[in-house]
Homo-oligomer: A and B are copies of this chain.
Amino acid sequence: MRTLVSDATNSTGKEITVQGWLHKKRVMGGINFISIRDRSGLIQVIVEDKAQLEKLRGMQVGTVLEITGIVVEEARALGGVEIHKPEIRIIIPVNQEPPIEIDKPLSHKPENLDTLFDHRPIGLRNLREQTIFKVQALVCQSVRNFFYENDFIEIHTPKLLAEATEGGAEVFTLSYFNKTATLAQSPQFYKQIMVGVFERVFEIAPVFRAELSATTRHMSEYTSVDGEMGFITLPDLEDFLNGLLNRVVDDVWAQYEPELRRWNATKPLLSKTIPEFAISEIHELYKKATKEDFTGEDDLAPAEEKWICEWAKKNKQSEAVFVTGWSAKSKTFKFYHRANQDNPELADRADLLFRGVEIVTLSMREHRYDQVVTQMKDKGYDPADPGFRPLLGAMKYGMPPHGGFGLGLERLTQRIIGLNNVKEATLFPRDISRLTP
Contacts and interface: CB of A to CB of B under 8 A. Distances in A.
Interface of A: 2, 19, 21-22, 38-39, 60-64, 91-92, 94, 96, 98-99, 119-122, 124-125, 130, 133-134, 136-137, 140-141, 144, 148, 151, 153-162, 172-177, 179, 181, 183, 190, 193-194, 196-200, 205-206, 208, 210, 212, 220-221, 223, 230-231, 367-368, 386-387, 389-391, 393-394, 396-401, 409, 426-428, 430, 432-433, 435-437
Contacts of A162: 435-436
Given A133-B155, A196-B121, A400-B91, A177 B231 contact: no
Contacts of A391: 121
A151 B269 CA distance: 30
A148 to B, nearest CB: 7
The 10 closest A-B pairs by CB, nearest first: A62-B398, A390-B437, A174-B174, A39-B199, A62-B397, A124-B197, A137-B154, A94-B398, A121-B394, A121-B193
A64 B367 CA distance: 11
A194 to B, nearest CB: 7
A122 to B, nearest CB: 5
Given A92-B367, A125-B196, 10 more contacts: A91-B401, A96-B396, A121-B390, A133-B153, A134-B153, A141-B154, A156-B223, A156-B409, A174-B183, A179-B435
Given A141-B148, A428-B190, A386 B436 contact: yes
Given A94-B397, A197-B124, A399-B92, A427 B206 contact: no
Contact of A39 (B2, B151, B397): B151
Given A141-B148, A155-B427, A158-B428, A122 B393 contact: yes
A399 B19 CA distance: 12
Contact of A157 (B21, B398, B428): B428
Contacts of A176: 172, 210, 220, 435
A313 B7 CA distance: 41
A178 to B, nearest CB: 9
A153 B206 CA distance: 18
Nearest to A40: B151
Contacts of A437: 389-390, 393
10 contacts: A2-B231, A22-B398, A38-B199, A39-B199, A91-B400, A156-B206, A160-B430, A172-B174, A177-B210, A194-B427
Nearest to A122: B397
Contacts of A428: 157-158, 190
A370 to B, nearest CB: 11
Contacts of A398: 21-22, 62-64, 92, 94
A88 to B, nearest CB: 15
A159 B220 CA distance: 11
Contacts of A435: 160-162, 176, 179, 181
A397 B398 CA distance: 58
B137 A368 contact: no
A143 to B, nearest CB: 11
- Find the residue from A140, A174, A197 having the highest chain B CB count within 10 A: A197
A243 B153 CA distance: 24
A120 to B, nearest CB: 8
A133 B153 CA distance: 9
A181 B427 CA distance: 18
- Find the residue from A155, A173, A401 having the highest chain B CB count within 10 A: A155
B399 A64 contact: yes
